[in-house]
Structure 1
Amino acid sequence: MNCPRCNNAQSCKDGIVRSKQRYQCKSCRFRYTLNHKSNIKPLSIKRKALQLYLEGLGFRAIGRILEISYGTVYQWVKACGDQVSLPESQGEVEIVEMDEIHTYVGSKKALLDMDSCR
């Protein structure tokens, strides 16, 4: 840990203030405390969480894998979604193709008989 004023690496402990360790620089005698924030995650973890979300994993599963809160994962995904703009239509659609699954599902409902299932 370096002094914020002179960037010297030599320091000694100088008491505790508000439950945090205080240090004193040996060269300039400046007193300072270190503010470590435990809630800041590396950018690599955030990218990995977003990648796992795009692969189809849920928030809780991502939280268990990366050992972070699922609420944090949710906030990251939501913030990323707010930054991305959706593609806008540039013209009218002339041709629409329907998949054969629509016809299959429609015919399956007509053929389903409850007596044959028992």
Structure 2
Amino acid sequence: MNCPRCNNTQSCKDGIVRGRQRYQCKSCRFPYTVSHKSDVKPVSTKRKALQLYLEGLGFRAIGRILNISYGTVYQWVKACGEQVSLPERQDQVEIVEMGEIHTYVGSKKSTAEYG
């Protein structure tokens, strides 16, 4: 096992924290843990959560199905969305029809801003 900071192979035990053995590098005195966290979800679970989100399920429903936090599902979807680039329109729009907007505004039944 090598030190993550200086890549030195010499280390000594430095106690147990939350059930995991800690080590300390003899050259740079950096404390580190060798074993991986148990709460790291496999890539297949992340892929399944993204697939369920694209099918239309909500964050809480996906969390209940996969037995994970809905906040974790939200973070995965947000990170995936930041990686994807949106398609950009190459040609310019020359004609815009205003009829639909005029019909929508005229059909509103609220009396706000009418004095």
TM-score class normalised by the smaller sequence: 0.5 to 0.7
CA shift for structure 1 position 92: 1.4
The number of residues matched between the two structures is 84
Q: Greater share of helix residues, 1 or 2?
A: 1
Task: Write the letter of the residue equivalent to 1:37.
Answer: K
Residue 34 of structure 2 corresponds to residue 51 of structure 1: no
Tell me the alpha carbon deviations over residues 21-44 of structure 1, each in whole angstroms, 9 at most, x when there is no partner.
69xxxxxxxxxx862312211111
What's the Cα RMSD here?
3.4
Deviation per CA, 1:88-110, whole angstroms, max 9, x where unpaired? 1101135679xxxxx7x89x878
Distance in 1, Cα, partners of 2:65 & 2:93? 43
Question: Which residue pairs with 1:37 in the alignment?
Answer: 37
Q: Secondary structure at the match of 2:82?
A: helix
TM-score, normalised by the number of residues in structure 2: 0.55
The equivalences for 1:1-118 within 5 A come to 17-18=15-16, 19-20=19-20, 35-94=35-94
- Counterpart of 2:56 in 1: which secondary structure? coil
Q: Distance in 2 between matches of 1:52 and 1:96?
A: 37
Question: Mind listing any 5+ residue stretches in structure 2 that lack a counterpart?
Answer: 3-14, 23-32, 98-102, 110-115
Counterpart-to-counterpart distance in 1, 2:57 and 2:67: 14
Identity among equivalent pairs (%): 73
The answer for unaligned runs of 5 or more in structure 1 is 6-16, 23-32, 98-102, 111-118
Q: Which has the larger radius of gyration?
A: 1
The verdict on how the C-alpha distance between 1:96 and 1:38 changes in structure 2, with shifts beyond 3 A counting, is: farther
TM-score, with normalisation over the residues of structure 1?
0.54
